[in-house]
Amino acid sequence: MPTSLEDYVESIFYFKGFQPDHSIERVVPTGHLFIIFELDGIERNTFDNQTLAVNETFRNVWVSGMHKNYLSISAHQDSEMFVIQFKPAGAFPFFHIPIHRLNNTVILAQEIFGDEIVTLRKQILKSETVVTKFDIATQWLLDRFDTTKIPEAALILILKQLQENSLSTHTTIVKTYSKTQKHLISQFKKYCGLTPKVLHRIFRFNQMLQQIQAQQKITWSQIAYQFGYTDQSHFIKEFNEFSGFNPQEFIEADHHNSEPNFFPLDRQG
């Protein structure tokens, strides 16, 4: 059992009384996996990305796996939610199944954890203080942790380099792995869900979104060059793949002033 969860869990967060100015939002891939608890009794929906027709409905607890593309979800007034966000290679010791099985899916958490996850939700819901909620979730994670399912240090090193270096260095980075590239890909799928190349592209896209937020004036040609896109058409294609918007639509909708990974689709006012 680890003494700390910081090597595996990106964050655990709780919010109550959320009042969004929209009812549907687009979530871009970030390279993280989530366990999501609703504590307000409100059903959540996922939507078809093109038609925005309801795809599926979720309540209590669900898991959002590693996604390669954007996801359309519902946003609700007076929301109360508790969320566990895992690091890109952090979920396997707790889930005990290869993470690629959850790629591009949102599923009820009971399908993975059984009734224990429902019991955990009840305990979190009944807790009178926020600190107690966090303590209960932390203890559950510690109890779930399987030391035989820790990713090897070499994989973590490769992952760290992908997060910190530009996509132009991708081939150089993966060649430092001591075993075959096929083995590296299989390990990434097992622990991270996605391949090294796809994750590297997702990291680059999210770094770019953060850069856009920090700028008063956006020059797309400079952004494309800075982040190593081969040409403008390549940049636009990938921007649309990960966000569902072309760059001009993104700016016109004022998404560069929104949260970096959540973009309202039906904002009021």
Q: Say whether pLDDT at 4 is over 80.
A: no
Structural domains in the chain, sorted by start:
9-149 (2.60.120)
Q: Return the pLDDT at 38.
A: 98
Question: Angle at the Cα of 261 (from 255 to 264), degrees rounded to 5?
Answer: 45
Expressed in percent and rounded to 5, the helix, strand and coil fractions of the chain are 45, 20, 35
Q: Is 198 exposed, middle or buried (0-12, 13-18, 19+ CB in 10 A)?
A: middle
Q: Is 263 exposed, middle or buried (0-12, 13-18, 19+ CB in 10 A)?
A: buried
Q: Return the pLDDT at 216.
A: 65
Contact present, 102 and 190 (Cβ < 8 Å):
no
Contact present, 90 and 97 (Cβ < 8 Å):
no
Residue 215's region, left for phi above 0, alpha for psi from -120 to 50, else beta, is beta
Q: Say whether pLDDT at 202 is over 70.
A: yes
* pTM greater than the 0.85 cutoff: yes
Q: Return the pLDDT at 2.
A: 61
Give 134-186 pLDDT, tens digit per residue: 999 999 999 999 999 999 999 999 999 999 999 999 999 999 999 999 999 99
Question: pLDDT class for 213, splitting at 50, 70, 90?
Answer: confident
Please provide the DSSP assignment of 126-192 as one string: H-SSHHHHHHHHHHHHHHH--GGGPPPHHHHHHHHHHHHS-GGGHHHHHTTSSS-HHHHHHHHHHHH
Q: Say whether pLDDT at 5 is over 80.
A: yes
Q: Return the pLDDT at 3.
A: 57
Lowest mean pLDDT across 82-86, 99-103, 202-206, 217-221: 217-221
Give 214-240 pLDDT, tens digit per residue: 676 788 888 888 898 888 899 999 999
Give 35-52 pLDDT, tens digit per residue: 999 999 999 999 999 999
Contact present, 219 and 175 (Cβ < 8 Å):
no
What's the mean per-residue pLDDT of the chain?
94
Q: Return the pLDDT at 219.
A: 84
Q: Is 2 exposed, middle or buried (0-12, 13-18, 19+ CB in 10 A)?
A: middle
Q: Say whether pLDDT at 206 is over 60.
A: yes
Give 91-120 pLDDT, tens digit per residue: 999 999 999 999 999 999 999 999 999 999
Distance (Å, rounded) from C-alpha 21 to C-alpha 118?
A: 30
According to DSSP, residue 195 is labeled -
Q: Say whether pLDDT at 1 is over 90.
A: no
Grouping H, G, I as helix, E, B as strand and the rest as coil, residue 258 is coil
Q: Say whether pLDDT at 255 is over 90.
A: no
